[in-house]
Amino acid sequence: MIETRGFRILRAVGLTFLSALVILPLYVILTTSIKPNTAVRGLFEWIPTEITFQPYIDIWNTVPLAHYFMNSLIVTVSATACSVVLAILAAYAVARFDFPGVRQFRFAVLATQMFPGILFLLPLFLIFSQIKRGVGLELVGTHLGLVITYMTFSLPFSIWMLAGFFASIPRELEEAAMIDGLGRWGALWRVVLPVARPGIVAVTVYCFITAWSEVLFASVMANKSTRTLSIGLRAYASQTDVYWNQMMAASVVISLPVLIAFLIVQRHLISGLSAGAVK
């Protein structure tokens, strides 16, 4: 395909417009986070005339941000670990074994992605309430309840993507390992998982980002003691004032773990998503 000059110009204009849609909000967040709150209330200045890093210090005192950070870390790491382990086992079974109902299972896993998450909010809340009445296990307002909730929408996609990745790995690798004396579990652990590392990394990052930034379910399933960062940001808005600079500073701080994790595993993430999507 020969690119014409008009096409190159149109592509440059389109990419510039899309980049502006991403960069400008980030610039506003960063500049607002280093302004005094009095300057934020006035007319917006693209170049701050007064710079202060005091909001990054005050965010820890205005609201219990460290407590919210710990809640998010506990819930996110637990949900990610459980989702990845279960997804590996389920995806490997789907990719390697032809058991009755495997096609229906694949369709059911993929069908869950067709519905918006808000449809599952009320059923999950009612199920958790019935569990509390039946066996006395409290799930609403607990870390365990949030972990289970996040797994309900991260696990199906993880299974679907890993199943495609495992299916692309030649069976001969496992057969050779089992001939050398390894069992099925040994072949999975020593042969398949190292080869499937890019896909596992992609799934791990997806589960982490999904749980870390989730707002809807956390606003209903969490209480004051288990409130996560995404919900804790609302605490910077009181009845009398809104600390916009601290809210933006807190947004920058809570975005750093996801940004750092993405930069570290970027190479594996891209290859893992591509391999799972192609299959």
Contact at 8 Å (CB) between 161 and 202? yes
Tens digits of per-residue pLDDT, 206-223?
888 888 888 888 888 888
Give the model's pLDDT for residue 144: 92
What is the DSSP code (8-state) at residue 235? G
272 pLDDT higher than 80: no
Give the model's pLDDT for residue 84: 93
pLDDT band at 76 (very low <50, low <70, confident <90, very high): very high
63: helix, coil or strand? Answer: coil
What are the phi and psi torsion angles at 87 (to 5°)?
-65, -40
Tens digits of per-residue pLDDT, 124-165?
888 998 998 888 888 888 999 999 999 988 888 888 888 888
Give the model's pLDDT for residue 279: 44
Contact at 8 Å (CB) between 59 and 246? yes
Highest mean pLDDT among 3-7, 67-71, 202-206: 67-71
Query: How far is it, in rounded angstroms, from Cα 279 to Cα 274?
Result: 9
Tokens found for residue 191: 């042969």
Mean residue pLDDT across the chain:
84
Query: How far is it, in rounded angstroms, from Cα 224 to Cα 71?
Result: 11
Give the model's pLDDT for residue 239: 66
What are the phi and psi torsion angles at 106 (to 5°)?
-60, -45
What is the DSSP code (8-state) at residue 196? T
Query: How far is it, in rounded angstroms, from Cα 143 to Cα 78?
Result: 9
Query: How far is it, in rounded angstroms, from Cα 237 to Cα 247?
Result: 8
